Amino acid sequence: MIVRRTEEVKAEDVRDAGASGARIRVMIGEPEGAPHFILRHFQLEPGGFTPRHSHPWEHEVYVLAGKGAVLGGDREDKLEPGKAVFIPPDEEHQFRAATDNPLTFLCIIPRR
Amino acid sequence: MIVRRTEEVKAEDVRDAGASGARIRVMIGEPEGAPHFILRHFQLEPGGFTPRHSHPWEHEVYVLAGKGAVLGGDREDKLEPGKAVFIPPDEEHQFRAATDNPLTFLCIIPRR
């Protein structure tokens, strides 16, 4: 068993093109021995966003805190704590914090 | 994209032998088209617990609210919001709420 507090995992800036004000912590990943999927923690500062992009793997997301919005395909939905989001493979998507609020969420991806 | 509030997903009692006071919501699963892993939401009432058992698949867990403890192998650790837990395949484990507090967490498993 591995138990980790969020704060003890180093937060890295998301450096992908098209990201702004976004930090990621890999809570459970390959170094921890995750066989199938990776548990990641994202913090977007107010006005921050992840890249608007698509890729062949899915996202499963759960909002922990804050306010924002998600773009998925041609839809947009508001985000708040307790909302779960499924982004299927190859669907264009983007996560955005509100301009006056941060947004914190978990995002799980398959191990490649 | 699928977006679901936690409260709009029906909670089912965990009926496995050895469970008590535990409810599960499958937030993103096979009916939603999850290709690789299933995002589940657990609520344990004060004093509630999941079965003490082991199985060939891993758990990746993130605590959302409340207080409790996790048993993993021969270790026990306290749980509180913001803690992530990795239970590797075949390790005996159990999640327990405190006697005076509920415990709410996400638990992701691979799709079988």
Interface ipTM: 0.97
A51: tokens are 């890249």
Sole residue written with tokens 């004060």? B46
Q: What is the pLDDT of residues B74-84, one digit of tens each?
A: 999 999 999 99
Query: Using CB atoms, which residue from A1, A84, A89 is nearest to B35?
Result: A89
pLDDT (tens place) for every residue of chain A, 112 residues total: 999 999 999 999 999 999 999 999 999 999 999 999 999 999 999 999 999 999 999 999 999 999 999 999 999 999 999 999 999 999 999 999 999 999 999 999 999 8
Domain boundaries, chain A: 6-110
Give the pLDDT confidence score for residue B47 in this predicted structure.
98
Query: Using CB atoms, which residue from B1, B28, B110 is nearest to A36?
Result: B110
Please count the other Cβ atoms lying within 10 Å of the Cβ belonging to residue B103: 29
Pairing of the two strands A103-110 and A68-72:
unpaired
Sole residue written with tokens 């709420």? B97
- What is the arithmetic mean of pLDDT over B13-25? 97
Q: Which of B5, B24, B38, B60 to mutate to test the interface with A (most CBs of A within 10 A)?
A: B60
Helix (H, G, I), strand (E, B) or coil at B32: helix
Q: pLDDT band for B107, please (50, 70, 90 cuts).
A: very high
Distance between CA atoms of residues A61 and A63, nearest Å:
7
Give the pLDDT confidence score for residue A112 in this predicted structure.
81
Give the pLDDT confidence score for residue B85 in this predicted structure.
98
State whether residue A69 sits within 8 Å of chain B by CB.
no
A87: tokens are 């982004």
State whether residue A7 sits within 8 Å of chain B by CB.
yes
**Cβ-contact B38, A64 below 8 angstroms:** no
What is the chain A residue with the closest CA to B88?
Answer: A1
Q: Which chain A residues have a beta carbon less than 8 Å from that of B39?
A: 60, 62, 84, 108
B86 bridge partner residues = A2, B60
pLDDT of B112 > 90? The answer is no
- Give the percent of chain B with pLDDT over 90: 99
What is the 3-state composition of chain A as percent helix, strand, coil, each rounded to the nearest 5?
5, 60, 35
- Give the percent of chain B with pLDDT over 70: 100
Give the pLDDT confidence score for residue B12 in this predicted structure.
98
Distance between CA atoms of residues B76 and A111, nearest Å:
28
State whether residue B112 sits within 8 Å of chain A by CB.
no
Assigned CATH class of A6-110 = mainly beta
